[in-house]
Structure 1
Amino acid sequence: METHNRRAFYRQLLHVSVFMLTVGAAGQLLLAQSPATSTPAVPDWAQPGSPTHVQVPPPGDFHRPSRNFDTPIGVFQGQSDIGAAVVPGSASYDAGTKQYTIHSAGYNIWYTRDEFRYLWTKVSGDVSLAADVTFPDPKGYGDRKAVLVIRQNLEDDSKEAMLGEHGVGMIHLAYRPEQGQSIKDLQYRFGGGLNGVLARRVGIEKHGDSIAIFVSLEGEPMHQLGPPITLHFDGPFYVGIGFCSHLPATSDTAVLSNVLLENSAGQVR
């Protein structure tokens, strides 16, 4: 009886040890993937600017492969976590309200590489894209941005042109002239100061190699905002909507609704 009990005890001890080892290994995996249990480590350069930190570009050789999903959503053919932010993004579509809700972390859509959740369709030729933009959490980081984006590919440093609407109301037409180059932009603010007026609806149009952006501040007919830029895209390319929290390890939310996507120019409304 004593020998039997001893064997049972050792079998139980072995089972507990294996169980603890298994949980430990799984715990490490979950810790690396789940922001709920820990804040993932992020490089210092990825932190946003603050009174105690100067925002800087990423190292020239830093890249993360994007996570791409051929999962249709609304009018879009697929989705990507461009640049694979340390906290995975997600998106949903409500056909009843015509709303796309996008959750994303990501240090920025800027400099020589991007991190953001992107809903996309592949097209060639001319494009018109427009959407209403809202931020459900009024306390989100000021430089977070909902974007309408034309990209040559899904790599983190792709050539691109985008309209970005920031949480503080600034709108810009930004573009990366070639893959791996730094972003250039034209910036616009409404209402004065850094915390301006959020436009009700925004749009971007590609007509040949001409890219222009459009805005409706309070529901009036959309009108072109500033001069266009010239940027060539080889077809097929990607066009779609996205969001970036501007915080490398903290997810936030943007809602883009009443999305218009036409494979022709002159349709922004």
Structure 2
Amino acid sequence: MRIFNLIFVFCFFKLSLAQNDTGIFQNIKDIGEPAIKGSAVYDEENQVYTLSGAGNNIWFDSDEFNYLYNEQDGDFIITANFRFLDEGGDPHRKTGIMIRESDDENAAHVSAVLHGDGLTSMQWRSALGEDMTESNEIKAPKYSYQTLQLERTGKKLIMRAAHWGEPLQKIGTRELENLSGKVLVGLFINSHNPELTEQASAWNVRIDKPVSDTYNPYEQGWLGCRLETIDIETGNRKVIFTKDDRFEAPNWMPNGEELLFNMDGSLYTIPVAGGKPSKLNTGFADNLNNDHGISFNGEMLAISHSPQGEGSAVYVLPLAGGEPQRVTEKTPSYWHGWAPNNREVVYVATRDGDPTYDIYKKDINGGEEVKLTNTKENEHVDGCEYSPDGKYIYYNGSASGSMQIWRMKPDGSDKEQITFDANNDWFPHISPDGKWIAYISFPAEIPVNDHPSFKRVTLNIIPADGGAPRVIAYLYGGQGTINVPSWSPDSKHFAFVSNSGSRKE
């Protein structure tokens, strides 16, 4: 069984979370009167919640269990992974996510439940003291889902679940008037045997605050972000930096010990283990966007900077910092990849009044830019990046009708589609060992040529030569999440930005 972990540490110049035994949660309580008291511990080093509890049941007209929770209002999404620590045990023991009207033993609630025998289900009590029966449960079609999720939108409650590597599946939906106001939200455990204590682990725990479909961060203000890393093999995610405002697009530094990301028009480095960001010297370039990256030899940095009165242009400078050298004369130009020869860069740009974006390459020491695509009207290309062996340029394009991952030869020939799915796939990033492509996948309802922030997306990987995708993270994100190459040097980890929904006061 794979174990995923979770850590929340520093915010910008201050601790973003209280350093306590319950992580992001503020309250822990035994609901009802179980004969054996429960507990919950957040292990910051190993980044796992350990839930311990007893209790007769969470069923009929009253409950007994241990509960780790916050008070929450408005719309939200809570997601977590679970596993029981001990084999065997009562097949009806329960752990999972609960939204509860109050801490009364017979309060209304809805729960995403993993049972001891692997049964996964949505269960609810609609009103105080209601007798829960089989009509209060929707059973998932399969057993032993690892990822559970509950979403509240007004009075609508939605449960989703997933096995490792698969998309989230909707298990059930209920409208519960009693759970439409301020509620308790958190993790629970119940032994189903009043004389025994059961334990479970919970990891990758996230509480997100979604926004409306019409939300525009450029007009309404940016909400909070998290800088995360993920273990590609296990899916273990770590939050290493948070801010109740905007930052984007992490690169992994060549030393493997730091990340580079853009914030407030500048670039910052931060230790992979977390800490205080340090500003990188980019000279006069102080209006950077989220397109930046490091040459294959680890010596040079490419940035996209918008000089006063101009659109974005591509510049290069030493990775250690210094004065940038301009590469592209025309604007707008947005950098996306280095060639393995460390002399050429590839970027997307519009030219001569044509609003359609195409892919270009150019030598950083001068010469003419070379156009590699001829995108048709109403199509779009983006995210161009060389494979480490230099044989291909990967990119996302909508030539087939939806946004998919493509590749072509470095001269623009032999264009070949790599992904074929119902979603819109953006920003392919090739692992340093050349084996994998990581990319972000937007749901089909997002406009094909758009990649907005604050959307329900997944982080996927596929073999570099194509194959079935594997979902490695479910998150709230989009623009700024993985706009740039984000692999660790050893190809075992990946960095990204998720949107938390927290708001700067």
TM-score (normalised: structure 2): 0.37
DSSP-derived class of the 1:146 partner = strand
Distance in 2 between residues matched to 1:104 and 1:250, nearest whole Å: 8
Amino acid at match of 2:173: P
Distance in 2 between residues matched to 1:240 and 1:72, nearest whole Å: 15
Distance 1:157 1:72, change over 3 A: farther
Amino acid at match of 2:200: A
For residue 234 of structure 1, report the CA deviation from its aligned partner. 4.6
Which one of the candidate residues 184, 189, 201 is aligned to 1:255? 201
Distance in 1 between residues matched to 2:89 and 2:207, nearest whole Å: 28
Which one of the candidate residues 179, 192, 197 is aligned to 1:246? 192
Alignment match, 2:182? 236
Distance in 2 between residues matched to 1:223 and 1:186, nearest whole Å: 13
Distance in 2 between residues matched to 1:189 and 1:168, nearest whole Å: 14
Alignment match, 1:110? 59
Confirm or deny: 8 A CA contact 2:21 2:43 kept in the other structure.
no
Alignment match, 1:73? 22
For residue 220 of structure 1, report the CA deviation from its aligned partner. 1.7
Distance in 2 between residues matched to 1:169 and 1:145, nearest whole Å: 10
Distance in 1 between residues matched to 2:45 and 2:23, nearest whole Å: 11
Amino acid at match of 1:261: I
Amino acid at match of 1:111: F
Alignment match, 1:214? 160
Amino acid at match of 2:153: H
Q: Which runs of 5+ in 1 are unaligned?
A: 1-70, 191-196
For each residue in 1:4-27, what CA deviation from the matched residue of structure 2 results, as whole angstroms up to 9, or x when unmatched?
A: xxxxxxxxxxxxxxxxxxxxxxxx
**Identical counterparts, % of pairs:** 28
Confirm or deny: 8 A CA contact 2:69 2:184 kept in the other structure.
yes
Distance in 2 between residues matched to 1:209 and 1:236, nearest whole Å: 11
Alignment match, 1:93? 42
Q: Which runs of 5+ in 2 are unaligned?
A: 1-19, 212-454, 457-473, 476-505
Name the structure with the higher strand share. Answer: 2
Confirm or deny: 8 A CA contact 2:82 2:96 kept in the other structure.
no
Alignment match, 2:470? none
Q: Kindly tell me the number of residue pairs found equivalent between the two proteins.
A: 192
Q: Does 1:131 align with 2:108?
A: no
Q: Does 1:120 align with 2:69?
A: yes
Distance in 2 between residues matched to 1:223 and 1:264, nearest whole Å: 19
Distance in 2 between residues matched to 1:90 and 1:167, nearest whole Å: 19
State the structure with more CA Rg: 2
Confirm or deny: 8 A CA contact 1:72 1:78 kept in the other structure.
no
Amino acid at match of 2:174: I
For residue 202 of structure 1, report the CA deviation from its aligned partner. 1.1
Confirm or deny: 8 A CA contact 2:85 2:201 kept in the other structure.
yes
TM-score (normalised: structure 1): 0.67
Alignment match, 1:157? 106
Confirm or deny: 8 A CA contact 2:26 2:70 kept in the other structure.
yes
Confirm or deny: 8 A CA contact 1:169 1:189 kept in the other structure.
no
Alignment match, 2:138? 186
For residue 207 of structure 1, report the CA deviation from its aligned partner. 1.1
Distance in 2 between residues matched to 1:175 and 1:200, nearest whole Å: 20
For residue 236 of structure 1, report the CA deviation from its aligned partner. 1.8
Distance in 1 between residues matched to 2:45 and 2:170, nearest whole Å: 30
Distance in 1 between residues matched to 2:85 and 2:128, nearest whole Å: 33
For residue 142 of structure 1, report the CA deviation from its aligned partner. 0.8
Confirm or deny: 8 A CA contact 2:110 2:123 kept in the other structure.
yes
Distance 1:210 1:73, change over 3 A: same
Distance in 1 between residues matched to 2:93 and 2:60, nearest whole Å: 15
Amino acid at match of 2:114: E
Amino acid at match of 1:200: Q
DSSP-derived class of the 1:253 partner = strand
Q: Does 1:82 align with 2:27?
A: no
Confirm or deny: 8 A CA contact 1:100 1:257 kept in the other structure.
yes
For residue 155 of structure 1, report the CA deviation from its aligned partner. 0.6
Name the structure with the higher helix share. Answer: 1
Distance in 2 between residues matched to 1:98 and 1:185, nearest whole Å: 32
For each residue in 1:34-75, what CA deviation from the matched residue of structure 2 results, as whole angstroms up to 9, or x when unmatched?
A: xxxxxxxxxxxxxxxxxxxxxxxxxxxxxxxxxxxxx87111
Alignment match, 2:13? none
For residue 206 of structure 1, report the CA deviation from its aligned partner. 0.8
Confirm or deny: 8 A CA contact 2:38 2:66 kept in the other structure.
yes
Confirm or deny: 8 A CA contact 1:82 1:117 kept in the other structure.
yes
DSSP-derived class of the 2:196 partner = strand
Distance 1:264 1:182, change over 3 A: farther
Distance in 2 between residues matched to 1:149 and 1:179, nearest whole Å: 15
DSSP-derived class of the 2:54 partner = strand
